Structure 1
Amino acid sequence: MSTDTTPPTPGTPAVGGTLNVVVPAARQGLSPAAREAVARGIPKETERGYDGDWRRFEAWAVAVGRCPLPCTGETLTEYVTWLTLTPRPRTGHPYKPASIDRAMASIVVAHQAAEIPPPHQTGARLVLKGYERRLKETKDPRGRVAQAAAATPRILRQMIAATDLSTPIGLRDAAALTNGFALAARRSEAALLDWEDLAEVEEGLAYNVYRPKVNNDQPLGVPYGTYPSTCPVRAMKAWAKCLIDHGRQLTGPILLRIDRHGRIAHRMTRHGKEIGDPQGRMTGEAIGDIVTRAARRAELNKNPDDLLPDLPARWTGHSVRRGYAEASRQAKKDPIESARHGGWVDGSKAFAGYHDRADMWDEELNPLFGIGL
């Protein structure tokens, strides 16, 4: 294997200063405005992940005397091998396969943004495949895909039952949990919801949901629920009444931050400077924390449908989305329409995986039922 020791070529960032890649002078065809426009095409959460991944790769390449951009297939293979062998300072273990896969994606994106052909991935993919196989064969937990526990309607009822609905925080959390499930909303999607995005109709609530990951606006109908405690319409109306009672108008963000004193959309400062969204809009991370706290209140420390129940459950913002997917399958809803309702693309492997989990105990689909065991 040859050594790629070409030193980095000085240049400017390829994507609006976000990915700190070095572009050869002869290829610097994009203006700063164009590079910034390219950066805006990457979802914020993905951009943050790619940014960190790229910086780590760039630092490694410079340290070992390799050129980060353009990167050769050999350099990529060496880097992936290094990631599979080198313990991370924070965990003491090498990166998980999913993290390595994202690191590879960040390198490809950096090249595409700089209008440079990305490196060949054959060798790197073989290294990653062998790493995944080794982790699975040795029963290393890093070989398992870390999935959020499913907040199905039964679980939601437990969460709501442990929530104090006499407080603004409790009413907001109930609205976030039930409507997050009904919309199969990602955290980023729930954070973007404004009161102008929904209307009360006879059947329930009519939403217009913007889904950044697939970049489309989606009209969705949320009907009244069968169980009052987990009815998304009733929960949202109760949250709206709470805001009106506190002298707020139903405009701008739906999900607002509330401090421990019950102050809604309070002004936050640090060292005398205002921080946070000026309207009080919650971040996606804060909305995910609503699910985590609700699970803790309900003492849902174990995942009842996990194949390894001794492992603690991961209750995250994604739990309501996964719960919707599994519940739709258990109710035998049309998989194509169910996926589209939740903003999954047709043929989504992630959505199909959730359905596979829901099918394990279906007597009509599991061939072991009724065969005489």
Structure 2
Amino acid sequence: MLEAAAAGDAPTPGSAPVPPDPAAAERQALIERWAQRHGIDAARRLAEAEDLADAVAAEITPGNTVDTYAKSWRVWTRFCTVSKLPEREASRGALVAFVAWMLREGQQNGTGYAPTSADTHLAGTVTGLRQRGVAVSGDDQAAARKALAGLEVKLLQAGERRGRGQAVGADIDGLRTLARACPDTLTGDRDKALTLTGFHYASRSQDPAGLLTGDVALHPRGLVVAVLTGKTKHSVRNAKISYTDDFEICPVRAWTAYRTRLVAEHGEQWADPSTPAFVGIDQWGHITGGMGPDSVTRAIKRISTRAGVPIAWTGHSLRIGLASVARRKGRDGIAIAKQGGWAPHSKVLAGYLEVVDQWEDNALLGVL
């Protein structure tokens, strides 16, 4: 018999026995079947290939996805504790009971989750179960999703709308208001560059946070921004940002002014391609390092609040705004998807465009 690919430490005398790992046991059984069919050497090489596949999967899974899976598993374990159900079983009844519990009382404070959050945790839990060697039937998972959809309808019929809903999208008038409200300081120049460039490539909060100075290149027609923080082959891209006729909200001029001022006030080291593109700045004007996704989100909200926009923007407002504004100007969905890093037939993008189309392409528009 071949040794297990990853053997655990032997229990010390008197200690509690370590519960068997179903995933490890399943892997060992698979290796033994390979050995019987192909011989020990071939089985060992196949096992090494499996280890490589696991390593590749871990390497390409975004960090925030890993965090979501971990959080979903914690929600599942709380449910199993409350319901006195085994963690490593995924029957139809258990999964349906799980979604009902999440909507009823699943949050730590005893209130129910929004249906979108419950859907995310269901998906993360199924992934977590499969990672632990638990077979999850597609039919059982479908039953849980059908129950979730039906319970969401019941909530809506009862007048209960949970969750924050879709963030308000940025628009051109809002960008002008924000630009005018930015003070004549390095912080003001950074805020202006952050919002104007972010709008033009439909940024998520993690995108500007992940940019280095060398990722933003000047071009005779504008800027080329290497967005490397996306989750898909479509979102990892070189976004093109053109000069605009309106100097007040031109992203290229805003970026150039911000970077020129940063180097002039804090030294040539900030021109190094390996430095953060957008820096944190404290109330005394000191550089605190690169901005993280959370600080970008807070900055967008603070900038919009300072400008007095009716509804404060969030870290997703710039992304929604590009799609909405471009659609209202008659841009094709494929061109919008390419600029913003969506897949050509993205359901998320289709939802943004549908909001615009319901008004612009209304069947009775101009009829009455």
TM-score (norm 2): 0.81
Residues 178-217 of structure 1, C-alpha deviations (whole Å, 9 max, x = no match): 1111111111122111111122111111222224221463
Q: CA deviation at 1:85?
A: 1.8
Show the counterpart of 1:338: 336
Structure 2 distance, partners of 1:38, 1:115, is 16
The separation in 2 between residues aligned to 1:23 and 1:259, in whole angstroms, is 50
Query: Which residue of 2 is the match for residue 368 of structure 1?
Result: 364
Distance (Å, rounded) in 2 between the aligned partners of 1:33 and 1:290: 41
Pick one of 228, 231, 254 that aligns with 1:213.
231
1:138 partner amino acid: A
CA displacement, residues 219-246 of structure 1 (integer Å, 9 cap, x when unaligned):
2211101221211100100111012102
Q: What's the counterpart of residue 141 of structure 2? A: 121
- Does the 8 Å contact 1:135/1:141 carry over to 2? yes
Is 1:103 the counterpart of 2:121? The answer is yes
Query: Are residues 336 and 24 of structure 1, via their aligned partners in 2, closer, same or farther at CA, if it must alter by over 3 Å?
Result: closer
Structure 1 letter corresponding to 2:285 = G
Question: 1:299/1:314 Cα in 2 relative to 1: closer, same or farther (>3 Å)?
Answer: closer
1:168 and 1:41, CA in 2 relative to 1: closer, same or farther beyond 3 A? same
Mean alpha-carbon deviation: is it higher for 76-85 or for 54-63? 54-63
Distance apart, 1:70 and its partner CA:
4.1
Q: Tell me the SS of whatever aligns to 2:217.
A: strand
1:156 paired residue number: 175
Question: Mapping of 1:200-279 within 5 angstroms?
Answer: 200-215=218-233, 217-245=236-264, 246-247=266-267, 248-250=269-271, 251=273, 252-264=275-287, 266=288
Structure 2 counterparts to residues 178-193 of structure 1, below 5 A: 178-193=196-211
Matches within 5 A, 1:8-157: 23-28=22-27, 37-86=56-105, 88-90=107-109, 93-114=111-132, 116-119=134-137, 120-142=140-162, 146-157=165-176
Match of 1:291 in 2: 300
**Other-structure match for 2:314:** 316
Match of 1:349 in 2: 347
Greater Rg, structure 1 or structure 2? 2
Distance 1:87 1:61 in 2: 11
Report the alpha carbon displacement of residue 37 of structure 1 after superposing the two structures with TM: 4.9
Shift of 1:71: 2.2
TM-score, length of structure 1 as denominator length: 0.80
CA displacement 1:9-50 (0-9 Å, x = unmatched): xx99xxxxxxxx964541256898875653343222222222
C-alpha displacement at 1:148, in angstroms?
0.7
Secondary structure of the residue aligned to 1:219 is: strand
**Would the aligned equivalents of 1:151 and 1:324 in 2 still touch at CA under 8 Å?**
yes
Q: Which runs of 5+ in 1 are unaligned?
A: 1-10, 13-20, 267-279, 303-312
Q: Which amino acid aligns with 2:326?
A: S
The verdict on how the C-alpha distance between 1:56 and 1:131 changes in structure 2, with shifts beyond 3 A counting, is same
Describe the shift of the 1:23–1:189 C-alpha distance in structure 2 as closer, same or farther (beyond 3 A): farther
Q: Cα distance 1:366–1:34, how it changes in 2: closer, same or farther (>3 A)?
A: closer
- How many aligned residue pairs are there? 324
What is aligned with 1:5? none
User: Which is richer in helix?
Assistant: 2
**Mapped contact 2:105–2:111 kept (Cα < 8 A):** yes
TM-fit CA distance, 1:122: 2.9
Secondary structure of the equivalent of 2:70? helix
CA distance, structure 2, for counterparts of residue 350 and residue 314 of structure 1: 22
Q: Match for 1:317: what amino acid?
A: G
* Residue segments in structure 2 that go unaligned for 5+ positions in a row: 1-6, 9-19, 29-46
How big is the shift at 1:315? 1.9
Whether the aligned pair in 1 keeps the contact of 2:304 and 2:312 (CA below 8 Å) is: no
Cα deviation, 1:241-268, whole Å, max 9, x if unaligned, reads: 012102133222101111111101x3xx
| C-alpha distance 157-22 of structure 1, shift in aligned 2 (>3 A) | farther
Relative to structure 1, is the Cα distance of residues 156 and 54 closer, same or farther in structure 2, using a 3 angstrom cutoff?
same
Report the AA paired with residue 122 of structure 2.
M
- SS of residue in 1 equivalent to 2:290: coil
| 8 A Cα contact 2:79 2:106, kept in partner | no
Amino acid at match of 2:26: R
**Identity across matched positions, percent:** 29
